[in-house]
């Protein structure tokens, strides 16, 4: 029997993840997932662990008011309010997308600038300013917040177990930053799925996830592995024309609620 074995939310793009037991969904995936992002103040370009490894040590928790609480070693926590409807809009770039989104204000900017070590702004994306998903996959009206290309990422637990065995040491699931973990299937069974249902919500499996050097960062310490694992092993046995694939990108059709332990049904 397939079941949902873990849920993760990442309120800040490339920040630490939250382990959840239950969560609701909106049209952009898990409620509150990747709705905040750091950008270079001068260029507006997005910042991630690919270039700023210490972001793996930045705790960013969704708080009860809908805002964000940031914390990191050596930096006092700060509560940041959800930007008001009339908040200043900032032009930002994420991959090939350029958009204007609310800025979280100067106090937040001062805090993240001290943490990053250069002038940085914190921005937030409301539902009505969402991006469209990567062209050529899914439906034309599918939308995404600040995730790389799609609202949700799924990984099978058996797939991680298979990779761990090949690497020869334990690999943490959080290296791969999934939202949904499924257990009960064979390794990489998710590669063949097209539609699944969890609870009352149906999901389309739209595209495999191409991995990058970010997987070599230890989520506990923020240090990169000297041997480039697990990326090196993925490049050997999961290589496709588009890259080293691990996990599947999903789009949810409709809203609803997810809870760890829910059965998962493969519809197609």
Q: Which residue has the tokens 């939310």?
A: 9
Q: What is the pLDDT of residue 105?
A: 96
pLDDT of residue 134: 81
What share of the chain in percent tops pLDDT 70?
Answer: 100
Structural domain spans, the chain? 3-30+133-266, 36-129
Split at pLDDT 50, 70, 90, the class of 58 is very high
Residues 77-120: pLDDT tens digits? 999 999 998 899 999 999 999 999 999 999 999 999 999 999 99
Task: Determine the Cα–Cα distance for residues 250 and 58; give it in Å rounded to an integer.
Answer: 26
Which has more confidence, 209 or 63? 209
For residue 82, the model assigns a pLDDT of 95
For 127-151, the pLDDT digits (tens) are 999 999 987 788 888 999 999 999 9
CB within 8 Å of 60: residues ≥ 6 apart: 10, 11, 12, 15, 16, 36, 68, 69, 70
Q: What is the pLDDT of residues 240-257, one digit of tens each?
A: 888 899 999 999 999 999
> Against a cut of 0.85, is the pTM above it?
yes
Q: What CATH number should be reported for the domain whose range is 3-30+133-266?
A: 2.40.33.20
Residue 151 has a pLDDT of 96
What's the pLDDT score for residue 219? 85
How big is the chain, counted in residues?
268
Per-residue pLDDT, 138: 81
Task: Give me the pLDDT at residue 101, please.
Answer: 97
Give 232-265 as a DSSP string: HHHHHHSEETTEEEEEEEEEEES-EEEETT-BEE
């Amino acid at each position: 029997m397939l079941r949902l074995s873990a849920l993760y939310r990442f309120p800040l793009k490339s920040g630490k993840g939250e382990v959840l037991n239950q969560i609701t969904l909106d049209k952009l995936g898990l409620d509150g997932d990747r709705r905040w992002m750091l950008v270079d103040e001068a260029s507006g370009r997005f910042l991630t662990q690919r270039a700023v490894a210490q972001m793996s040590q930045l705790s960013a928790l969704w708080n009860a008011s809908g805002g964000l609480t940031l914390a990191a070693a050596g930096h006092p926590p700060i509560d940041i309010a959800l930007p008001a409807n009339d908040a200043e809009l900032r032009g930002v770039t994420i991959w090939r997308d350029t958009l204007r989104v609310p800025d979280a204000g100067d106090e937040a900017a001062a805090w993240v600038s001290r943490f990053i070590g250069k002038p940085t702004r914190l921005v937030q994306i409301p539902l009505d300013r969402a991006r469209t998903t990567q062209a050529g996959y899914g439906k034309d009206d599918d939308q995404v917040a600040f995730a790389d290309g799609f609202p949700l990422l799924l990984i099978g637990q058996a797939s991680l177990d298979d990779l761990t065995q090949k690497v020869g040491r334990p690999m943490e699931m959080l290296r791969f930053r999934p939202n949904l973990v499924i257990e009960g299937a064979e390794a990489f069974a998710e590669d063949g799925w097209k539609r699944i249902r969890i609870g009352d919500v149906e999901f389309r499996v739209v595209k495999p996830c191409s991995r990058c050097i970010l997987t070599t960062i230890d989520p506990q310490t923020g240090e990169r592995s000297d041997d480039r694992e697990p990326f090196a092993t993925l490049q050997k046995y999961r290589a496709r024309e588009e890259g080293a694939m691990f996990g599947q990108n999903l789009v949810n059709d409709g809203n609803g609620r997810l809870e760890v332990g829910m059965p998962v049904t493969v519809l197609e």
